[in-house]
């Protein structure tokens, strides 16, 4: 038997618009040759396919705004590597009109909080707020985050300051921080510290089994981590753009 909503439920708001700031990877385009871009993009994705899979990206056209571009073909090439364009930044009026025709939003060069990611560095993924397991730690107005439960496969946790995890990070999980990352358990998923370019950030963990580690966009995947550093306590930091892993 069909039922109709009560008067009270009809009067309750069904949605709410709220402002928010998220970190989005930016794909800076330096060529209008989509074939060349597609080839290089595929090679890049092969290095860490699970990291890039279904990641959102903002297409930056500022470097080619005075050139003719087949934007539809470019967007198709990006979709073909399982990356999801959410809009364009910069570009000429003609390029913005093309974006409008394919229902792609346009952002002014100064109106977005997305961080530029050079092509040789791994981009920072789109991150939603962590689940209720995250508890902000009050430390001198820095938005540090403390997590006392395991971060399970499929979860993404983001901290605007340091991120402290007193449990383990499962394979398929992702922990991201603008500052340092401390993991007092096994790191089996992905850990990205200094995601807004802080090259002084470090990763500390009690048991390194990571799928990927990254500091300020400089990354290393599991296959490129020496076995002598696995399953032991380590710290990870940058030295002249080189990712250093050191026993602790």
| pLDDT over threshold 80, residue 203 | yes
Give pLDDT tens digits for 26-41: 889 999 999 999 999 9
CATH number at 175 reads 2.160.20.70
Q: 3-state SS string over 135-203? A: EEEEECCEEEEEECCCECCCCEEEECCCEEECCCECCCCEEEECCCEEEEEEECCEEEECCCCCCCCCE
Residues 142 and 242 in one domain: yes
Residues in the chain: 248
Question: Is 19 among the domain residues?
Answer: no
Residues 103 and 141 in one domain: no
Question: Is 9 among the domain residues?
Answer: no
Confidence of residue 224 (pLDDT cuts 50, 70, 90): confident
In this structure, is the dihedral angle defined by the CA atoms of residues 92, 94, 99 and 103, taken in order, positive or negative?
A: positive
Query: In the numeric block, which tokens belong to residue 246?
Result: 């050191």
> Which of 67, 87, 117 is the last residue in one of the domains?
117
d(CA 223, CA 211): 8
Question: Is 91 among the domain residues?
Answer: yes
CATH number at 86 reads 3.30.70.260
- Read off the pTM: 0.52
Structural domain span for residue 221: 134-247
User: Collapsing DSSP states into helix, strand and coil, what is residue 35?
Assistant: helix
Give pLDDT tens digits for 189-199: 999 999 888 99
Give pLDDT tens digits for 80-90: 988 889 999 98
Residues 147 and 212 in one domain: yes
Confidence of residue 131 (pLDDT cuts 50, 70, 90): very low
Question: Is 211 among the domain residues?
Answer: yes
Residues 44 and 72 in one domain: yes
HSE-up of residue 232 (Cα within 13 Å, Cβ side): 12
Domain count for the chain: 2
Question: Is 57 among the domain residues?
Answer: yes
Residues 138 and 171 in one domain: yes
Residue 32 in contact with residue 58, Cβ under 8 Å?
no
| pLDDT over threshold 50, residue 129 | no
């Amino acid at each position: 038997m069909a039922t109709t909503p009560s008067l009270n439920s009809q009067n309750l708001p069904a949605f709410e618009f709220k402002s928010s700031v998220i970190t989005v990877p930016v794909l800076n385009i330096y060529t209008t040759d989509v074939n060349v871009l597609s080839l290089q993009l595929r090679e890049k994705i092969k290095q860490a396919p699970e990291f890039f899979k279904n990641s959102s990206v903002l297409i930056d056209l500022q470097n080619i705004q005075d050139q003719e571009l087949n934007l539809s073909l470019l967007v198709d090439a990006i979709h073909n590597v399982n990356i999801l364009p959410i809009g364009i930044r910069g570009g000429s009026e003609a390029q913005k009109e093309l974006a409008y025709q394919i229902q792609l939003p346009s952002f002014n060069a100064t109106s977005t909080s997305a961080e530029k990611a050079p092509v040789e560095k791994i981009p920072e993924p789109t991150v939603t707020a962590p689940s209720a397991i995250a508890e902000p730690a009050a430390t001198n107005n820095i938005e540090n985050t403390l997590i006392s439960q395991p971060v399970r496969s499929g979860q993404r946790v983001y901290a605007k300051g340091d991120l402290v995890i007193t449990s383990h990070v499962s394979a398929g999980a992702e922990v991201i921080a603008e500052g340092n990352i401390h993991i007092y358990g096994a790191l089996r998923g992905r850990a990205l510290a200094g995601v807004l370019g802080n090259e002084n950030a470090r990763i500390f963990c009690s048991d390194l089994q990571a799928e990927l580690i990254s500091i300020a966009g400089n990354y290393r995947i599991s296959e490129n981590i020496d076995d002598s550093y696995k399953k032991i306590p380590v710290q990870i930091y940058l030295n002249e753009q080189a990712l250093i892993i050191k026993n602790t």
